[in-house]
Amino acid sequence: MRAKGLFFGKIIGLAVLVAIATPMISFADGKTSGEHLVRIYDRGEEKTIITNALTVRQALRAAKITIDEKIDAVEPNIDMELTGAKYQVNIFRARPITIVDGNKRLKITTAEQTPALIAKAAGLTLYREEKTIITNALTVRQALRAAKITIDEKIDTVEPNIDMELTGAKYQVNIFRARPITIVDGNKRLKITTAEQTPALIAKAAGLTLYREDKTHFTNSDDLLVNGVGLVMKIERSKQRTMTEEVDVNFDIEQIKDDSQPIGFKSVKQLGEKGVRKVTYQVEVENEREISRKEVASEITKQPKKQIEIIGTKPKNPLTKSKGAQIFTDSKGVAHRETYYDLPMNIVIKACGSGGTYTVRADGAKVDRDGYILVAANYGNYPRCSVVETSMGPGKVYDTGGFAAKHPHGFDLATDWTNGDRR
């Protein structure tokens, strides 16, 4: 319940009825028609009888249990007829309670279980509580300290945020105390402690999803043995429910041609981002199993962002001597100084499982049997036999040279530009 202003809870001294549940037992094989199995909880003890009693009152007599009808309470009603096979009867004994209300101290004897009903039995009304202070506190947290109000930050909720700065003249702070809630969802019965206020958030705190068509009912617990003290939220599931899902929306790719960059060059100018589409379905369920679904609405909640790429269109340089160097930038953005050399590769080709032979491609590049261009590079950055990107296609490092010290990311591509080593 939402209160206006800072509030704190008064403590009422209560004697708590504790009952220990025991496993269900079945009728004996010899049970005759008209008999009822009645389990009676009284002062934390259970007594089970099989009886032909017609009412709860007669069942208590059969169990030799006496009550004071003026002050004790029985659930279900003591005069309720017994027509079924099994029953559970709870007895709440009246006990003395001292109620401290400011300077007032009242003593009553009652079987009521909740603070509100206990107060009512004493002729009092229990209200939501409010506390007003004037403070120089800089934050909500400090204001709560000034008001001598403590909270459990793990389970209680404060609005506005507990660390919000106080810059204005007046503030209203609401505290929602965590309380035990029993959630009844079909055959499921879950017990949680939460400060959430709405049915959807309470269900979420229990790991459940509450749909638009579902109905909820709140009651105060009237069965301490089953639910304990606290609220009971019962969920009535609908066979029709509205569900929403979010799906990705792919982005477009725009390519811009650049004739200053060689063929094979590609650079991402703007990275693409997927969009989001929210799709709403009407779903039919049976026994919590989806039977059918129909799309009823769809909208893009986040537009995709297109990717822009720069594509090189400049023809590749013809093979020249090593002095004709060019710069090649690979897909990772690393710039390589490329040169060409024309030497016999009979020795170096014996490494990397190449089979000891190489060939010359139509464009003059020397390649191994797998089609990798023979490359010389800095072994520290590009280990022998590693695969690298070049302006002429994939290459494999077979060799190194003196250039590698001055150009640690440089590549020397094995070529046959003199036509003297063609094979």
| pLDDT (average), residues 223-229 | 51
DSSP 30: T
**pLDDT recorded at residue 222:** 57
**Dihedral (CA of 108, 113, 118, 120) sign:** negative
| pLDDT confidence tier of residue 247, bands split at 50, 70 and 90 | very high
Each domain of the chain, given as residue ranges in start order, spans 1-15+34-132, 140-176, 179-238, 243-311, 318-414
- Verify cis geometry, omega within 30 degrees of 0, for the bond prior to 315: no
Q: Do the strands 335-341 and 411-414 form a parallel or antiparallel pair, or are they unpaired?
A: parallel
Tell me the pLDDT of the chain averaged across its residues: 81
Q: Shortest CA distance to 272 belongs to which of 298, 248, 300?
A: 248
Which residues contact residue 368 at a Cβ distance below 8 angstroms, ignoring those fewer than 6 apart?
349, 352, 354, 355, 357, 358, 374, 396, 398
Unique residue bearing structure tokens 């089979």: 355
Task: Enter the tokens of residue 180.
Answer: 């035990």
| pLDDT confidence tier of residue 360, bands split at 50, 70 and 90 | confident
| pLDDT confidence tier of residue 17, bands split at 50, 70 and 90 | very low
Burial (0-12, 13-18, 19+ Cβ within 10 Å), 367: buried
Domain boundaries 243-311, CATH class? mainly beta
Which residues contact residue 289 at a Cβ distance below 8 angstroms, ignoring those fewer than 6 apart?
none
Measure the CA dihedral 71/92/230/114, to 10°: 20
At 142, give phi and psi (nearest 5°).
-65, -35
**pLDDT recorded at residue 229:** 52
| pLDDT (average), residues 275-283 | 92
Q: Alpha-carbon distance 270 to 252, whole Å?
A: 11
Q: Shortest CA distance to 100 belongs to which of 89, 108, 88, 112?
A: 108
| pLDDT confidence tier of residue 266, bands split at 50, 70 and 90 | confident
Out of 153-157, 331-335, 358-362, least confident range:
358-362
Q: What separation in angstroms does the CA of 18 have from each of 91, 218, 228, 321?
A: 11, 23, 9, 96
pTM (2 decimals)? 0.38
DSSP 364: S
DSSP 348: G
Instruction: Give the 3-state secondary structure of residue 403.
Output: helix
Q: What does the pLDDT look like over 307-344, one tens digit per residue?
A: 999 998 875 545 655 555 788 899 899 999 988 888 88
- Residues 89, 56 contacting (CB under 8 angstroms): yes
Chain length of the chain: 423
At 156, give phi and psi (nearest 5°).
-85, 160
Which residues contact residue 341 at a Cβ distance below 8 angstroms, ignoring those fewer than 6 apart?
322, 376, 401, 412, 413, 414, 415
- Residues 232, 218 contacting (CB under 8 angstroms): yes
Out of 113-117, 299-303, 416-420, least confident range:
416-420
**Dihedral (CA of 319, 322, 326, 330) sign:** positive
Confidence check: pLDDT of 262 > 80:
no
Instruction: Give the 3-state secondary structure of residue 226.
Output: helix
Out of 27-36, 89-98, 211-220, 366-375, least confident range:
27-36
